[in-house]
Structure 1
Amino acid sequence: MNRRFEDILMPVADAGAIMHPEFALLKWEALGNRLDVGQLCYLKRDTSRSRRELHTFDPASISKDRVKAVRKLIAQLSEKSDAGGSRPATVYLDGRVVINLLNWADRRGMHQALCARRETEVAIKAYFSALRELASQSKLSVNSAAAEQRTLLSVLKTYFEADDFGADLRPFRFRRNRVVGTEVPDSERQGLLIAWADAVFTGLGSNVLQFTPYPFVIGGAAGQTVQVLPNHYGRRDGDASWGLKGWNLKTGEPRTYKELKQRYIEEGSKYPTQHASTVVRTTSNQIKEANSNARASIRLAHAITSAYAFAVLFLAETGINLSQLMEMDWCDDLVNSVQSPSVVRQKFREVKYRAGGVEIAFKVSVAFMPKLKAYLALRGYLAKDATVDKLFLGADSVGKAANLNAQFMRHFYQRLESLGIVLPEITPRQWRAAKQDWAISNHGPVVAAGIMGHTLDTALRSYSNGTDAAHKSEMGAFFASVEKTVLEAGVELPGSLNSSVGACVKFQSPESISASVAVKPDCKSSEGCLFCGQYRVHADATDIRKLLSCRYCVRLTCGRVETVEQYDASFGTVLRRLDFLLDELRKRDGALVASIENDVDVMGNLDPFWESKLEQLFELGLA
């Protein structure tokens, strides 16, 4: 049979009041996808087809235990949605991995999964083995398997309220070279957007609040200016569009009847007089309406554009993520808090207020405080005729003021383009990466992780890419030494000694490959050997396994650093050196490297030296 579907908007006030979890389709305002958790109530189902209406269910297979479990799962996802700090997509993924597990388990008769802890642990152990098998056959990437395994464990630990759930399971470790950190936008791109966002926020916002007349001019980056007109027409085609023919876009002045008539004659119009008169009248009416009505549609539209610009400035200033930005509630108490913020350190202020029974706090610089106060006044203007409950506002589908949505950056760029401002795009995640990059450079990763509100491991792995220029001198040194370092298989090295990462042609005579590389050559450590001018590596199975095994162990320990200097000068540089050498070996025998890489990273078959090293790391609690 097919079954009924009922949309449930997340978060829900009381999951226990949901009468029919078997019908449930969870949805989030900021997310297009819906999550079909209701399907899990039927132990026999076929959901293999992509279209939901083609899914089939055995009505006799509905399980009371599973209905109870699904209701509990909805409550858990709802609570996480309501708590804030997690994007809707993150909560959706939590539910998605549980559905994946139960689809797999139910097909194998493990129907007590999610209903009882012991049976769930049995099911997830078998499921992990299945994921490992898929990864070993290259049917699933290691990182995808690792992400699903770790998310499942996190969700089910919370679900069963047991930190030791699945304690004997060993999920995949992420292959760090496959996790691509967020690109930090270069300073020129950041500067352009900040300059124009500031100009648009200040220029349009003050025009709205002070009720100054149209047209007017705003100045942005590099001395450029833009004429702001009292109409909604975009400038992609310049003044060739009918709505802009009445304006001189360079001066911001209305064109005269004489100018327009001559233009229509030159364009071959049959009715130049009538067309010129119509455009003059329309332009005049636009100016009259905008300058006589404080809530004219053009002023409201420009107020929303100004609000978008402030949201961009706030992202750049604080580095919070998009979900947190959208979920910040509004409360009248915020106005008082902004007038008397707390001093957290020199040149920084912390704003605290309570909204919805929850304390909200954020830190901004002293220089940013006037902008925040101006935005609160602008928000008051927008909220006058709107039903909104969030701090940050944007526009709904018909252009009226509404709570900010996840697409606001795209809308902001479109509005900039309508003003004739075309800029390279920077995503909210890239702004967060830029803030992280600044925080790490100035304070170190531990402090930066606290400022940004995520773990140290996340700070180093996902946001700390830095700009391309940061590693150029280092890579230059690698390239300069590659010809003598990487050798073809079978090349003999008389008098050389085998090492844990390859071979040494002159033991106890370390020679730095470049002064620009932070790691110094050292005959007492494997890592130091990699940066020595006496080091050699062959494009054969033995040396390739040594390098891959070394990388495997380094990855296990690099998350334990406490300063950016320690990470970048040691682990970061070592991993980049290893990846560089492996890339060079791939150029010589890509198939061999790929085969051994899978054997080491997936199957765990390390070189004997590194196998013993790994055991030591586990015994010492360092991995």
Structure 2
Amino acid sequence: MSVNEENMVVRETVSLTPAQLREDIEHPENVRIKFDDSVRKAPFDIGSLSYIRRRFSSITWKDAEEPTPVILNSFRKERRDMLINIFDHISSSKYTDYSRLTKLNDVKSVVDECDQFGCSEFMENPEKCRFAYKALSIEWRHQIKIGKISNNKGAILQRTFASLIALCFSREQSTYILERINRIKYLRNPSKPPKEQHFNQYIKTTIALARQLKSFVVEENDFPIKLKMPDYETFVFHSHGGNLKTPYTSKQQNIYNFEEGRLATFDEWKGTVKGGLKSDYDASVSNFEEKNRNKRHERRIDFATLSMQAYMKIFILLTGAQPTEVKQLEYSDSFVLEKDSFKNDFRAIKFRARGREVSYSLGDSYGYALFKEYLDLRSWILNGTKCKYLFFSVIHKQNERKERSLVFRQVGSGRNFYRYFDRIKGVYVPKDFGDITSCPARKYKNLILSELKVSIETRASVLNHTENTNASDYTETTPERQAEEFQAHWDAVKKARQHLDLIGKENKNITTGHCVEEGEPESEIDNPPIEPDCKNPYGCLFCTKYSCHADEEDAHKLYSLLFVIELVRDESTNFAHAEKTFQILAIRAKEILKSMADKSEVHQVMINKIEKKVMVNGVLTTFWERRLDQYERMGIIASA
């Protein structure tokens, strides 16, 4: 839909924080949402989505600061309720501001596409909403096919639309709208992982930068900084550009002698520039001397922040913590090393943990030593100023009298969080290097822990397996193991049906069905992916004592189990581990349910009803609903 901006007006709006969205709002179409400045400075104009004819994207920063221009007579009254539902969701959730903004941007993208695709009436009733959802799902699949958008972008848009539908319509209406429209699956880790050599170079470079730049500023040494990197040595001077020579840089300033680590003499310098004046040379020397006299010069602060970012990256590589968690870590004066353990754990509010405190282990003494080094650097940067966050960003401010000062803020979100990599790429590491974020950090945690000199005992503990496993088995699956797993697959299929109890004998009611002899677990197949254990419901289906009644109650339990494990398989950041653990379990559950359906037409109808109840409408048993909620709080799966 083309929009003529000549007839558009900038309406009067009111800016509200997410907390203020809980209040009664008479005109939600005039609301803009104000987030923390570290997330977004200009208010987000959510109210403009009530108008189907509006400016869809901002051209300049100034445009973004102003309310979105709209054509007033294109107002859709039914979207007021949509906005109120969004406000309730945003204000009552424990999302971070950055996550709220991300979700709202996704909602805006969906509503924009509805309006541009001729589906502006999608909020009028379920029928029109179903038409829009189906039409856009087809369009997104087409755009994926021709390469206009990525598969995951399409999945996010469709998932966002489905979430918006769930907010604005009843459960029955939502089921009708989404029914029989295939979901675009989100592809986890579609790219190949970096090579081990890449990891080693990245980690060694990061440790070298963290420690050597920290020593430079804290010990108040003079420029140039002498860096000893894993595969080269260099001198780093004080200027912003051309101030160091590495295998990855191409332009250097002629005022520096990089071989000897000093300023060039006037005679050396003047032969390299046109019309080299003595006054220009003297000014460069004076500038160099000033930065060496002033031990808290802003250029020293710049190198201190690079060191701080490197220490933060080490922390992420060591723990696999998510950016949303790291941003929230708070500083405590009682981070004291006593017998290789701190009095207090780090504390963070994890976005997917909904307010729950999460602790991180740094491993053994080497990890603790790096952390204590960081605390020294942190103290030097703050220079007596207080900051609640363990990691923070540093901003140079200048007042009207041109007096400069430092402001300490929470680490930014999005691209701002990854500034460390932006600063080192093409300078300290090759330009074609890829960043190592928290997701591959978790996947390659064993390698990272080894490079950080963490003992094999600690590595085994952190990764939840034995030392022998860490030393020998934490590798790709061998052909022998593949054959073993393939045989287990077919054993599971053949034996699963034997557990169906059509009559419904009197035995112990459990979360996955029934148990013939509780407290006496016995594995039915060799080397099951989950050992039978009466304390772990996942192992029950591999136990000889397991029994399943051919009734609605046990079918509901099994489908609820299947719903949870399929979601874990889809959402898990460790895909290989989730598949290894749950694939055969899913097969067994499906075979039992299939066997139940095959008993009679009545059973087939019953199974179809329960399948829709659980797999489509998401109505789980109480136990598995709580387990799902627990997994969301723990961050094993993403919150809806």
d(CA) in 1 for partners of 2:172 and 2:122?
Answer: 25
Deviations 1:97-140 (A, max 9, x none): 466568889844854xxxxxxx5x55543433334554787798
Question: 1:403 aligned to 2:410?
Answer: yes
Residues 197, 408 of structure 1: alpha-carbon distance in 2 compared, 3 angstrom cutoff: farther
Structure 1 gap ranges (5+)? 112-118, 443-447, 453-468, 475-513, 529-553, 573-611
CA-CA distance at 1:164 after TM superposition? 6.9
Does the 8 A contact of 2:234 with 2:246 survive in 1?
no
Question: 1:58 aligned to 2:57?
Answer: no
Q: Name the structure 2 match of 1:365.
A: 362
CA-CA distance at 1:363 after TM superposition? 0.8
Provide the TM-score with structure 1 as the length reference.
0.57
Does the 8 A contact of 1:338 with 1:351 survive in 2?
no
Could you tell me which of 268, 290, 296 is aligned with 1:285? 290
CA-CA distance at 1:309 after TM superposition? 1.0
Could you tell me which of 261, 265, 277 is aligned with 2:267? 261
> Where does 1:566-605 land on structure 2 (aligned, <5 Å)?
567=579
Question: 1:190 aligned to 2:196?
Answer: no
Question: 1:247 aligned to 2:242?
Answer: no
Q: Name the structure 2 match of 1:392.
A: 391
Could you tell me which of 43, 46, 50 is aligned with 2:53? 46
d(CA) in 1 for partners of 2:92 and 2:487?
Answer: 53
SS in 2 for 1:361: coil
d(CA) in 2 for partners of 1:526 and 1:105?
Answer: 50
Q: Name the structure 1 match of 2:212.
A: 203
CA-CA distance at 1:242 after TM superposition? 11
Does the 8 A contact of 2:568 with 2:578 survive in 1?
no
Q: Name the structure 1 match of 2:303.
A: 302
Q: Name the structure 1 match of 2:102.
A: 89
d(CA) in 1 for partners of 2:300 and 2:489?
Answer: 71
Residues 229, 82 of structure 1: alpha-carbon distance in 2 compared, 3 angstrom cutoff: same
Question: 1:336 aligned to 2:334?
Answer: yes
Deviations 1:123-162 (A, max 9, x none): 54343333455478779888766544433343554677x7
d(CA) in 2 for partners of 1:318 and 1:87?
Answer: 25
d(CA) in 2 for partners of 1:228 and 1:245?
Answer: 14
Does the 8 A contact of 1:146 with 1:172 survive in 2?
no
Residues 284, 252 of structure 1: alpha-carbon distance in 2 compared, 3 angstrom cutoff: same
Residues 271, 226 of structure 1: alpha-carbon distance in 2 compared, 3 angstrom cutoff: closer
CA-CA distance at 1:303 after TM superposition? 1.2
Residues 262, 520 of structure 1: alpha-carbon distance in 2 compared, 3 angstrom cutoff: closer
CA-CA distance at 1:188 after TM superposition? 1.6
Deviations 1:556-575 (A, max 9, x none): 99667699468259969xxx
CA-CA distance at 1:38 after TM superposition? 0.8
SS in 1 for 2:39: coil
CA-CA distance at 1:181 after TM superposition? 2.8
Does the 8 A contact of 2:329 with 2:390 survive in 1?
yes
CA-CA distance at 1:243 after TM superposition? 8.7
CA-CA distance at 1:306 after TM superposition? 1.1
Residues 416, 8 of structure 1: alpha-carbon distance in 2 compared, 3 angstrom cutoff: same
Could you tell me which of 337, 346, 351 is aligned with 1:351? 346
d(CA) in 2 for partners of 1:341 and 1:5?
Answer: 62
Aligned-residue RMSD, C-alpha: 5.6
Aligned length: 468
Q: Name the structure 1 match of 2:467.
A: none
CA-CA distance at 1:336 after TM superposition? 1.6
Residues 50, 155 of structure 1: alpha-carbon distance in 2 compared, 3 angstrom cutoff: closer
Does the 8 A contact of 1:342 with 1:350 survive in 2?
no
Residues 375, 38 of structure 1: alpha-carbon distance in 2 compared, 3 angstrom cutoff: same
* AA aligned opposite 1:225: E
> Where does 1:141-160 land on structure 2 (aligned, <5 Å)?
147-157=156-166
Q: Name the structure 1 match of 2:11.
A: 4
> Where does 1:233-244 land on structure 2 (aligned, <5 Å)?
233-235=241-243, 244=253
My pick for the range that moved more, 13-22 or 97-106, is 97-106
Q: Name the structure 2 match of 1:129.
A: 134
Q: Name the structure 2 match of 1:217.
A: 226
Could you tell me which of 435, 441, 453 is aligned with 1:434? 441
Question: 1:416 aligned to 2:429?
Answer: no
d(CA) in 2 for partners of 1:515 and 1:564?
Answer: 14
Does the 8 A contact of 1:157 with 1:164 survive in 2?
no
Does the 8 A contact of 2:122 with 2:132 survive in 1?
no
d(CA) in 2 for partners of 1:556 and 1:380?
Answer: 46
Does the 8 A contact of 2:395 with 2:407 survive in 1?
yes
Question: 1:318 aligned to 2:316?
Answer: no
* AA aligned opposite 1:306: S
Residues 158, 570 of structure 1: alpha-carbon distance in 2 compared, 3 angstrom cutoff: closer
Does the 8 A contact of 1:233 with 1:243 survive in 2?
yes
Question: 1:379 aligned to 2:378?
Answer: yes
My pick for the range that moved more, 415-424 or 202-211, is 415-424
Residues 426, 103 of structure 1: alpha-carbon distance in 2 compared, 3 angstrom cutoff: same
CA-CA distance at 1:304 after TM superposition? 1.0
* AA aligned opposite 1:426: G
* AA aligned opposite 2:362: S
* AA aligned opposite 1:38: G
d(CA) in 2 for partners of 1:436 and 1:615?
Answer: 43
CA-CA distance at 1:379 after TM superposition? 3.0
Residues 198, 350 of structure 1: alpha-carbon distance in 2 compared, 3 angstrom cutoff: same
* AA aligned opposite 2:205: W
d(CA) in 1 for partners of 2:196 and 2:392?
Answer: 28
Does the 8 A contact of 1:101 with 1:127 survive in 2?
yes
SS in 2 for 1:365: coil
Structure 2 gap ranges (5+)? 1-7, 398-405, 450-458, 464-474, 495-561, 585-600, 616-640
Does the 8 A contact of 1:342 with 1:349 survive in 2?
no
d(CA) in 2 for partners of 1:138 and 1:417?
Answer: 32
Does the 8 A contact of 2:32 with 2:43 survive in 1?
yes
* AA aligned opposite 2:135: A
* AA aligned opposite 1:196: T
d(CA) in 2 for partners of 1:410 and 1:354?
Answer: 20
Q: Name the structure 2 match of 1:181.
A: 190
Residues 387, 69 of structure 1: alpha-carbon distance in 2 compared, 3 angstrom cutoff: farther
* AA aligned opposite 2:31: A
> Where does 1:546-561 land on structure 2 (aligned, <5 Å)?
none
d(CA) in 1 for partners of 2:98 and 2:367?
Answer: 23
